[in-house]
Chains A and B, each alone.
Chain A
Amino acid sequence: MSLPAGAHFARRLFFREARVSTITQTNGRLSSTTRAERIHSFEDRYRQQQFTRRNWTLLYGALFLAALIGSVAVSDFSIPGLLKGLPMAWNYIAGTLPSLSVENFWADLADWYWGLRFWTRLLVETILMGFVGTVLGGAVALLLSFPASRNLVENTGIYFIARRTLEFFRTVPELVFALIFVFAFGLGPFAGVLAIAVHTAGSLGKLFAEVNENVDPRPIEGVRASGGNWPMIMRLGVVPQALPNYASYLLLRFEINVRGASALGLVGAGGIGEDLYVAIRQFEYTDISAIMLLLILTTSVIDISCESIRHRLIGHNLTQSA
């Protein structure tokens, strides 16, 4: 192997420089640098790296402190306030706990859950709201996810519009939609379902589009080569590959939506939140804990069953994504 003359010259230049400069990286290969020199150069580099690192840490620390001071100033948060407020909060929570005695356990339990029949009805309504909202939102998300996948549309305009629409659906909080829909569609679960559906369409549409962008292009080309039009390509080339992932995301969203549906009642959009709101506002302490316990149980059962179905659908490698 022969190098051009210029390269030889550059190499000689480099080596001569390396001999005089101790900061150049040598990795101890050169016999002409002494051990002390090498250690010196190593320490120099170490110090330099430490210096930059410390500067970054200081910068982040200063930013953090500024944010902290600003937040405390704006939200009139204070340590004495916290010390005063925490026992109050704790007393409140302790006050919601029922008095259950061992000898009279069942009667006490019945007393605590005096409204069980009524609450069960509302709980069923909450779950139904989550279900219908997820299905409707999922359908819209599916339709919008194809034009929002970069590999499936050539027209940049359509892609852009679909993406921005999904973003809008996703970013406006569910509760804001609920407030507006309660105004437009009247009080009750119908407005809540629509709010859930719109928000779900936004967040699922983005996830579905990401799934679509990761599909294998070969089936798509196969359908196109046998003369399929665009809807056929989507139906036969994309959907069969992406279906397990769609289902998994739908189930994940269902869990989230049941939880969200429980809060929608606070603005009058149906579900168990309505009764929880009344209980909290009227200081019916034991009702609060009864309803919250019911909610916790329901969401846990849904979480666990959805998780096991999801694992069966796509294996154990799905990490949780909100």
Chain B
Amino acid sequence: MKLRKLVETYSLWAFLVALILVLAFRTDFDFVQPQNAANIISQMSVEMIIALGMTMVIITAGIDLSVGSLVALTGVLGTMALTVVAGLPLWLAFLIAIFASVLVGFACGSFSGFVITRFGIPPFVATLAMMFVCRGLAFIVCRERPVEIPYEYEQLKFLGMGILGKNLFGVEWFPGIPLSGIIMLAGIVFFHVLLSGTVFGRQIYAVGGNEEASRLSGINVKKIKFFVYAITGGLCGLSGIIQAATLGSGDPKSGDKWELQVIAAVVVGGTSLFGGRGTIIGTFVGVLLIRVLAVGVNFLGFTRFWQYVVLGSVLLLAVLLDTVSKKIRS
């Protein structure tokens, strides 16, 4: 019994470690140099920030397909806000841009949440609709062309640049852990505490575990559901402006199929699509695992499409493991 629980909890970690070891040996330990750690962190941060929200949504037995499109829309609108406020001091302009995109994301997420809770439309359909609308709007508002960050605000790129630990412990962590990575870590801590240590968090699990029972025991189910979508939207906005800042422009094409990647990562991380179960740490491992796979495929010089094959297999395996262990338990 104990052993099974141990396997359940740490099988993913074990797989991750094994994968990294294999990659390390295959690349003459190039893969485990500190630079690559910084590289992987900067790549995964934008996805992880969204995955924080997605984990909560999936714990309530919902789904959010609009996140990729929201990254595009908020990135475009955030950079457009920068062009509008030209002339303001740097810090104020940055705050406005970040605030604008988070707000847009929050508004779109709120709308999804509203439609889902008020009219009882299945989350899959409501957010699918939102996905199309936002992708279309992203292209329309910028007239189909990427919006460049104005010259005077080019320093916004600091969001994606390496800042921390450029020279830590005598090792040059080139290019350093970017600010986006630090935001990601802060987010992980915050949402981990929120989910495991607060009433709101426990209510999220309750709603996902048994909606009817939660309602009868006095939990405001609609409020909980509404907020998980709204928060996810806001996190997409944060991710969108970081992505735009790193790319140097708000690109309506960005975030393509991210919803599927993020959902895959959350599921690999052990969150149940039926709701009620899942952790932020698990999601972190899921996102990390998928990113390690992607970077590993590039390091080995295989064609990009192997990445999809491996990702699909890992996803299936993770869900199989979950289903089988559930069956054994019952």
A associates with B: no
By a beta-carbon cutoff of 8 Å, the part of chain B in contact with chain A is none
